[in-house]
Amino acid sequence: MLAYNAAHALALAALRAAGYRPSSAGHRKMIFQVLAETTDAPAALWLALDKYHDRRNAAEYEGAPPATAAEAEDLVKLAGDLDRLVRKRIGQPRRDGRARR
Amino acid sequence: MRLNEQSAREALPAGPDRLAAVLFGKSMRAILALLFGRPDRRFYTREIARAAGITPSSLQRDLAALAGAGVLTRTEDGRQVYYQANPACPVFDELRGLAVKTFGVADVLRRLLARHASRVRLALVYGSVAKGAADAASDVDVLWVGDLRPSELVLQLAAAERRLARKISVIAYSTEEFADRLANDHHFLTTILKGPVIWLIGNREAFDEFVLSKTRKPRTRKAAQRRAARKGRGRAPAGER
Per-position DSSP letters for A22-86, written without gaps between them: -SSS--HHHHHHTHHHHS---HHHHHHHHHHHHHHHHHHHS-PPPPPHHHHHHHHHHHHHHHHHH
Looking at residue B238, its pLDDT comes to 43
Question: In chain B, where do the E strands start and end?
Answer: 43-44, 72-77, 80-85, 120-126, 140-146, 168-173, 198-201
- Chain B residues within an 8 Å CB radius of A75: 151
Do B153 and B237 meet the contact criterion of CB atoms below 8 Å apart? no
Looking at residue A90, its pLDDT comes to 78
Looking at residue A74, its pLDDT comes to 92
How close is the nearest chain B Cα to the Cα of A29, in Å?
A: 15
Query: What are the pLDDT digits (tens) for B101-141?
Result: 777 888 889 989 989 989 999 999 999 888 888 888 889 99
Amino acid at B213: S
Q: What is the mean pLDDT of residues B159-177?
A: 92
Query: In which band, very low, low, confident or very high, does the pLDDT at A101 lie, cut at 50, 70 and 90?
Result: very low
Q: Which of B154, B169, B173 sits opposite A58 (nearest CB)?
A: B169
Looking at residue B207, its pLDDT comes to 87
A47 and B174: CB-CB below 8 Å? Answer: no
Is residue B8's pLDDT more than 80? no
Contacts of B206 (CB under 8 A, 6+ apart): B122
A47 and B150: CB-CB below 8 Å? Answer: no
pTM for the complete prediction?
0.75
For the ranges A18-32, A37-51, A53-67, B10-24, which has the lowest average pLDDT? B10-24
A44 and B154: CB-CB below 8 Å? Answer: yes
B174 and A48: CB-CB below 8 Å? Answer: no
Element (H, E) at B107: helix B105-114
B154 and A70: CB-CB below 8 Å? Answer: no
Query: In which band, very low, low, confident or very high, does the pLDDT at B16 lie, cut at 50, 70 and 90?
Result: low
Q: Which of B155, B169, B177 sits opposite A70 (nearest CB)?
A: B177
Looking at residue B12, its pLDDT comes to 42
Query: In which band, very low, low, confident or very high, does the pLDDT at B239 lie, cut at 50, 70 and 90?
Result: very low
| Whether the complex's predicted ipTM surpasses the cut of 0.90 | no
Is residue B98's pLDDT more than 50? yes
Q: In terms of pLDDT, which residue wins out, B188 or A26?
A: B188
Query: In which band, very low, low, confident or very high, does the pLDDT at B158 lie, cut at 50, 70 and 90?
Result: very high
What average pLDDT does the structure give for chain B? 83
